[in-house]
Structure 1
Amino acid sequence: MILPLTGSSYELGKMKEAIDLIEDTQLAEIARAEACYFTADAKGCVEHVKKYLASDDVMLRLSADMLYVFANLTLGNAGKAQAARIDVKQCLQKALEEDASTGIKSSCIFAYYLINIFLHIETEKEMPALEGCISDLPTGQRLFAISILAHGMYLKKEYLKAQGVVQTAMLMADAVYPIPFIYLNCIAAMCQINQKEQEEAISSVKKAISFAGKDGLFEPFIEYHGLLQGVLEVCLRKSEPEIYKKLVDGIIAFSRGWMKIHNSQMNRDVTDLLTPLEFSIAMLACRDWTNQEIAQHMGLSVNTVKHYVSDILEKLQIDKREKIKDFVNQ
């Protein structure tokens, strides 16, 4: 089984107890690594998984690779993250060449798409489709895979389709799976924002926060901050300033690591010159939102938004807001 904690159903606030119920000691350690990662303890995550990076057990290896990629983005170790990303691809190629079991092939495909879609890196056309393996995964991992599938649709600007996939997954879930539910609700919010459905987006983010809060699972919001385009600021900046401050620190670290891999792979120049708040405004401005719409969306005055947009243009050394799109991850 890959990512055992991610695939677990448990009562909110009972994450540690859920880990204690995992009898296999190696899977339990992977689950503890997941707990570290999702609670923004990247160093702890790396310490737990590094012994499994060369494991002969492909499930342990894939889990370790996935966690190692994203934890090292936060830690600024792009080279180590890239090495683990390549290892996942090699595991998938080997599984296909050797015609491995359905479970192994499906897990390899899952890991491959998870990393590439989160990093906004194009997947090779010859790779099997993610859709083809989802039904072979356990329920919790299947829900998480569906969130990845929906994220891919979002990147193609298929917002209604992605929302439909998310809603169907949530309705079909037979229990509460906190980690997949956080991601599914974030994807829903991302789509709603791009359809200018502000209230719906805020509602989706609040649902995601409700699944995260009791166990402190705030890493997904760090990953998705830019794509949530200001909704985190609306939901947390004033009401939960300590949580928001912790998120900001994580956002800056994760974003810089993300950019080191994404920019080199995709020949893009996603910027690390902006604060998280400026980046959120930039994301909206480059999507043709007016200053009035941005102000209303983020609970700011129009003059404040104008000031931020001017600062953004100056930092990026550009003269028109239309050019902002070249510097953000859409």
Structure 2
Amino acid sequence: MNSSDNFQDSALSRLMPLMNSSFTPGQAQATVDNFQDLEQRQIAQAELYYFSGRAEECRNIAELYLQDKDLCLRLSAALLYSFSNLTLGNPSASRMGFRNIQECLLLAKDSSAPKGIMASCVFANYLAMVLMHLPTDGLPPLQDFLPSLPSGLRAYAVYVLAHNAYLHKEYKRALGLCQSVFLMLDGCYPVAMEYLYCVIIMCLINLKQQDEARKALIKAWNMAKPDGFLEPFIEHHGLMLGQIEACIKPAEPESYRQLSQAVIAFSRGWMAIHNPQLQSSVTDKLTPMEYSIAMLASKGWTNQEIAKQLSLSPNTIKHYLSRIFHLLDIEKREELKPFVNK
């Protein structure tokens, strides 16, 4: 290994260090505490706050590193700052964070940074664009940089690619990408694995493999619970099309209540950036259950199919849809799509 390789390894260790860590579920805080480097430990703590739904505490740490000279620290901070501010209802701060991520890529290009650093910048930019459902045109292909990323980040990068494939309705391809990661991982990386499970669930639902989707959700939930990692389910709630309501709500009503409150906050912030003209129409009027039903109906699912998905009666779904139409001031299913453009 040459000096450039050593530099890259050292620098990359500060890019989302908790995400990149292999640990047993339930040991997230211990993993954070074991980091010897203070700044690395601080960023890892911010990650832990974010993934466990503590957006304000995450934001407070992340903002300390937004202009750090270490690009990987800065990228980590900007990612965490951007997404935590979505939940906190600060879209202007989120936009500033996203611009910071773009600036890091420009800096890396201008300075002819080592490939590992370039990989970090491309990874962060793809992550931000795909999770905000924005086009990645103009970015270098993320797949070209996968070999330069360490295991945990590489697994999460494949999640990003799979999520992008899902958004293009390439459900089988997205599913295959996620499943391939589980075959190749060299350890347990809970953060990346929980996000991969989310895409697996989303794809299985759209492929009408409901039983398999529920099994995957239960696996993901059981992995996330010991560390309180609610964020993957918060971010993907709408795209899971009612599976959380069907699986988690009956068994763990208190956990579902906490999740629902966080979903509303995150969705409000997401819509403020992505579809601001509809923000109040959706996030302030529809409950998470109503939003899930609206999503399914907008995809052409029948009342009977929605009822089976949510373990409700078709008549109950009919009443829900009547209420949704009234709240959104629309008259038919075809008009739902702009409101659930997520």
TM-score, normalising length: structure 1: 0.97
CA distance, structure 2, for counterparts of residue 133 and residue 260 of structure 1:
32
Question: Residue 326 of structure 1: CA displacement?
Answer: 1.5
Mapped pair 1:315 → 2:315: no
In 2, the alpha carbon distance for the partners of 1:305 and 1:126 equals: 43
C-alpha separation in 2, matches of 1:197 and 1:252: 27
Q: What is residue 224 of structure 1 aligned with on the other side?
A: 236
Q: How does 1:1-330 map to 2 (within 5 A)?
A: 1=12, 2-123=15-136, 125-263=137-275, 271-272=282-283, 273-330=285-342
- Unmatched 5+ residue regions in structure 1? none
Per the TM alignment, residue 329 of structure 1 is displaced from its structure 2 partner at its CA by 2.7
Q: Give the Cα separation in 2 of the matches to 1:310 and 1:171.
A: 45
Counterpart residue number, 2:3 = none
**Cα deviation, residue 268, structure 1:** 7.3
Distance in 1 (alpha carbons) for counterparts of 2:182 and 2:222:
15
- Pick which of 29-38 and 272-281 moved more: 272-281
- Distance in 2 (CA, whole Å) between partners of 1:97 and 1:8 is 30
Normalised to the residue count of structure 2, the TM-score between the two structures is: 0.93
**Secondary structure of 2:17's partner?**
coil
Q: Counterparts of 2:182 and 2:31 in 1: how far apart (Å)?
A: 21
The whole-number CA distance in structure 1 between the counterparts of 2:107 and 2:282 is 36
> SS of the counterpart of 2:299?
coil
For the Cα contact (< 8 Å) 1:262–1:268, is it kept in 2?
no
- For 1:54-95, what per-residue CA distance to the aligned partner results, in whole angstroms no more than 9, with x for missing partners? 111111000000000110000001100100101101111221
Say if 1:88 and 1:112, in contact at 8 Å, map to a contact too. Answer: yes
Whole-Å separation in 1 of the counterparts to 2:341 and 2:54: 24
Alpha-carbon distance in structure 2 between the residues aligned to 1:239 and 1:64: 36
Aligned CA-pair RMSD? 1.2
Aligned to 2:186, what secondary structure does the other structure show? coil
Unaligned stretches of 5+ residues in structure 2: 1-11
For 2:25 and 2:130, the matched residues in 1 are separated by: 28
Aligned equivalents of 1:177 and 1:113: distance in 2?
20
Amino acid paired to 2:216: S
Tell me if the contact between 1:185 and 1:208 (Cα under 8 Å) persists in the aligned partners. Answer: yes
Query: How far is the alpha carbon of 1:97 from its aligned partner?
Result: 2.6
Q: Partners in 2 of 1:206 and 1:243 — Cα distance? A: 14
- Residue 271 of structure 1 deviates from its aligned partner by 2.8
Distance 2:124 2:247 in 1: 31
Cα deviation for residue 126 of structure 1 reads 2.1
Partners of 1:94 and 1:16 in 2: CA distance: 33
* Cα distance in 2 for residues equivalent to 1:34 and 1:98: 28
For residues 18-43 of structure 1, give each alpha carbon's deviation from its aligned partner in whole angstroms, at most 9, with x where no partner exists. Answer: 11221111000000000000110001
- 1:187-237 deviation digits (Å, cap 9, x = unpaired): 000011111111111111111112101110011100000000100111111
